[in-house]
Amino acid sequence: MGKKGKERAKERRRQRLEEIAELREVPYSPSERWWSGETAAVVTGANRGIGLEIARQLAAHGLRVVLAARDAERGRAAAERLREEEGLCVEPRQLDVTDSASVDAFANWVSSEYGGIDILVNNAGVNFNTGADNSVESAEEVIATNYFGTKRMIKAMIPIMKPSPFGARILNVSSRLGRVNGRRNRVGDEALRERLLQDDCLSEELIDGMVTKFLEQVKLGTWSLNGWPQMYTDYSLSKLAVNAYTRLIAKRILDKPEGEKIYINCLCPGWVKTAMTGWAGNISAEEAADTGVWVVLLPPEKAPNGKFFAERREISF
């Protein structure tokens, strides 16, 4: 893309962000508000950044929100600010998505305290690369948190999602860096790309095998020779796995009967000014959270399943 093309793309995006800002000011009509003060939402990694903002916006729309955080004290402090400064219904709870015992204990608590949940936002994630850095020293932790942690939460929460005529909602915070055919981040293995894009070929074995193979090559020091994403490699691969797993689960739950529907989708929040990016992003956490909140609050007749969103629009996997 030449200089003029980049400038046109930048201008189109600026206009789109202005449109979204205007849309955020339009209140939901009574007919659109399928939720109530008893609707329970869980947001992971919610003590700061995008997770905190998603929790804040959901609570501002009148939902009961569980603010889940690995660091219990930071989670309590974040929830207290939302309650004291904005009067929001937010409850903190410690949760480490990389720990099976922590996830099981959390699921048992949510089931006991709330009778289950209506919305799950899998936001907890880590990234140790900034700028031009592309280290894979923390690849195991990145994959364990971003992919296996998300997968663990989905498996634990689906059984306790409340039956509802409106459908329960799962949103996985992901990234365009995890697109199968990303311009700079495509996987070099063409056969693998084809299998990842074909719903009939998707399986846990395929996705888990991909990340396991990558981690094995990281340990051997051969990963850079094997066609993995070129930019933020471990983070990108973790999000590629999240995207593929989202589509797999969407297919599995597609035929759930009316009253037990669950809709699962992905969100790319964009390059956001948060601690994860070293505050070098180009949009605020408030702007980034908007699309995720919009997706999970769509009325049932418009609720998507197995889709990928950015800036209130569907994008390709």
What residue spans define the domains of the chain?
36-130+143-183+235-315
Q: Name, in order, each residue with C-beta under 8 angstroms of 76's C-beta and a sequence gap of 6 or more.
A: 92
Point out the residues that are catalytic: 235
**Most confident residue range from 19-33, 69-83, 262-276:** 69-83
CA torsion 313-169-80-291 (nearest 10°) is 0
Q: In angstroms, how far is CA 178 from the centroid of its own chain?
A: 12
Q: Which residue from 243, 254, 173 is spatially nearest to 210, judged by alpha carbons?
A: 243
pLDDT band at 99 (very low <50, low <70, confident <90, very high): very high
111, containing H or E segment: helix 100-114
What is the CATH T-level fold of the domain 36-130+143-183+235-315, as seen in this structure? Rossmann fold (3.40.50)
- Print burial letters for 218-256: b (CB count within 10 Å at least 16), e (below 16): beeeebeeeebbeebbbbbbbbbbbbbbbbbbbeebeee
Tens of pLDDT, residue by residue over 135-167, are 999 999 999 999 999 999 999 999 999 999 999
pLDDT band at 292 (very low <50, low <70, confident <90, very high): very high
Give the pLDDT of residue 35. 98
Tens of pLDDT, residue by residue over 106-141, are 999 999 999 999 999 999 999 999 877 899 999 999
pLDDT band at 283 (very low <50, low <70, confident <90, very high): confident
pLDDT band at 276 (very low <50, low <70, confident <90, very high): low
Residue 143 · residue 238 · CB < 8 Å: yes
Q: Which residue from 93, 15, 63, 270 is spatially nearest to 166, judged by alpha carbons?
A: 63
Tens of pLDDT, residue by residue over 184-233, are 789 999 999 999 999 999 999 999 999 999 999 999 999 999 999 989 99
